[in-house]
Chains A and B, each alone.
Chain A
Amino acid sequence: MFSLKFPIPIENTLTPPPKTNNNNNNNNNNNNYNKFSGCSYYCSVYANDKLRGGIIRSPPTSNVALHNNEASVVGGWPETTEAKEEPFPEELRAELMPKHVAVIMDGNRRWAKTRGLFPWAGHQAGVEALKEVVRLCCSWGIKVLTVFAFSSENWIRPKVEVDFLMSLFEKTINSEIDDFNREGIRISVIGDATKLPSSLLRMIKYAEESTKENSRLQLIVAVSYSGKYDVVQACKSVAKKVKDGILDLEEINEGIIEQELETNCTEFPNPDLLIRTSGELRVSNFLLWQLAYAELYFNGALWPDFGKDEFVEALISFQQRKRRFGGR
């Protein structure tokens, strides 16, 4: 509540900002990644974007193209440079950081609509916001980040949008694998894979395989996921084990079902903190079983606008709560 969200660090404020290690010579003002701790640079980037009425991560409007329902980027995007470690915020305590953060990334389409853009521009901007949150999680010692990318209920959306999203997932995973390996990020995908395009399935399998040894951060992407489906498939797995003689009926308890949930791919299956953006106050069939004791943090910002400040606010809120897990 009392965190100060001003971009004015009080250390080394009068030292000049370090020179950018940017291989891309495109030094336009749209290079919005806040990589520098220097006060003046941060303020100028932040202030310039605010004065233009944009946001830190707004993409150039003319650069998102839709060709045959596939996502493509047509020049002008700020190149992703090597991610730098984000200093640990002073408002937070390292020993109280959540191990597992879950995020419902809501608001992409509304973000695009308020700017007169097509929905896919919102989804593309949402990807950038996700990259930023992943970078922050890596820097601040969060072990697992689960994001709700596509719900089983989303299949009823217009085919154009669904095809775009599938294409976007595929291209994003493909383009980020090297970064994941460099940063020690392991990617896992959960959800009902039967409905996914085969090319996306192959990409997912490749990404999971090539990053499985990474241990700094586990990024779990829920695609075609439903909390109820997760419980149902866990029950089916348990039934199969009983059928195969691995389990007795009498042995079935909560723990047995939890082991079969899709979040069994991680050491910390239950989120400590759930963040939902865009102001909606519900979990929308996400990780129903796993969220029993999660701190629920609902933020009014639309997902593409969710950045470091908002994330810090969520973490502060989490650290201030007295979580008793039902005990005294």
Chain B
Amino acid sequence: MDLKYPARKLSRSVLTMGNVGLQLLWYFLHILLSIWHSILAIRCFIESCFITCGVLEKYKSLNIAKLRYLAIVIESEDAHQTSKVVKLLQWLDSIGVKNVCLYDMNGVLKKSKEAIFGKLKNAKPIEEVNEAVTLHVPEHMTLEFVSYADGKEAMVKAANFIFVENLKRQNFGGEIDGQVISEPLLNEALKVVGCKGPEPDLLLVYGPVRSHLGFPAWRIRYTEIVHMGSLNFLRYGSLIKAIYNFTKVHQNYGT
């Protein structure tokens, strides 16, 4: 019995020391990983600078033809920074991206439309452009301004439009045939209610949250979604890299 007590004490001490040792090892490894992540962040920053300066060859020539329509989601709080939005659009214009959809949930960008067009000499609203803007490369920029009202609310309006049209067509009893509702019909109805923009190929999200914040869901079936971080950290190099990576993507579309 006496011999067991020191043995137990010894094993407890060993256990305690071992646990402390492993805890220290845990924190040390944690520090190492934090340093590693910091190095990666610095590397991204430096790469962005190199891209901006044109040092990296592969980013010098982008195959913009693949990017027919670009959408940009900006958090409504950041959307008040009109100068940054204009800077972003000017960069896109210089790269050759001419068809852009700007979205923020609360419609702040819609209210800043005039200010934005005032600073961009080479831009027209999508309402003034013929349909199928993506089928050609315009010399001017085409801008579409979209908010939450153009998403789910627009879908409801489009559905209502179909119901009402159906009702009008029925001569007797005012019956509605729900079976006529189809994807092509909803596409047409959305154009009628004022949502005529095509499906974007690429969607860039500027904001703290990695979410598209209610961008019209009907239009993002196969859209590549890239989170760019806050608009406060807008960088030309990051923009180029995102577009370059998009041009290298291959989609199977389910096959």
Interface residues of A (CB under 8 A from B): 1-2, 4, 6, 8, 10-11, 13-14, 151-154, 156-157, 227-229, 231-232, 235-240, 242-243, 249, 252-254, 257, 280-285, 288-289, 291-297, 317, 321-324, 326, 328
B106 within 8 A of A: yes
A291 and B212 in contact (CB under 8 A), knowing A4-B26, A235-B162, A252-B160? Answer: yes
Assess whether A288 is in contact with B211, with CB atoms less than 8 Å apart: no
A151 and B212 in contact (CB under 8 A), knowing A288-B218, A288-B221? Answer: no
Assess whether A282 is in contact with B225, with CB atoms less than 8 Å apart: yes
Residues of A near B76 (CB, < 8 A) are 326
Assess whether B225 is in contact with A235, with CB atoms less than 8 Å apart: no
Tell me the chain B residues, 178-212 only, with Cβ under 8 Å from chain A: 178-179, 181-183, 186, 208-212
Q: How far apart are B189's CB and chain A's nearest CB, in angstroms? A: 10
Alpha-carbon distance A239/B163, docked complex (angstroms): 7
Residues of B near A232 (CB, < 8 A) are 181-183, 186
Alpha-carbon distance A324/B77, docked complex (angstroms): 11
Interface residues of B (CB under 8 A from A): 14-15, 18-19, 22-23, 25-26, 29-30, 33-34, 37, 75-77, 105-106, 148, 151-153, 155-156, 159-160, 162-164, 166-167, 175-179, 181-183, 186, 208-215, 217-218, 220-227, 249, 251, 253-255
Assess whether B214 is in contact with A157, with CB atoms less than 8 Å apart: no
A235 and B153 in contact (CB under 8 A), knowing A6-B29, A10-B26, A293-B211? Answer: no
Give which listed residue, B30, B178, B211, B253, contacts A294 with CB less than 8 A.
B211
A292 and B182 in contact (CB under 8 A), knowing A2-B33, A153-B254, A252-B156? Answer: no
Assess whether B208 is in contact with A151, with CB atoms less than 8 Å apart: no
Assess whether A254 is in contact with B160, with CB atoms less than 8 Å apart: no
Assess whether B221 is in contact with A154, with CB atoms less than 8 Å apart: no
Assess whether B156 is in contact with A237, with CB atoms less than 8 Å apart: no
Give which listed residue, A14, A252, A257, A297, contacts B210 with CB less than 8 A.
A297
Give which listed residue, A157, A285, A294, A323, contacts B222 with CB less than 8 A.
A285
Residues of A near B152 (CB, < 8 A) are 254, 257, 289, 292
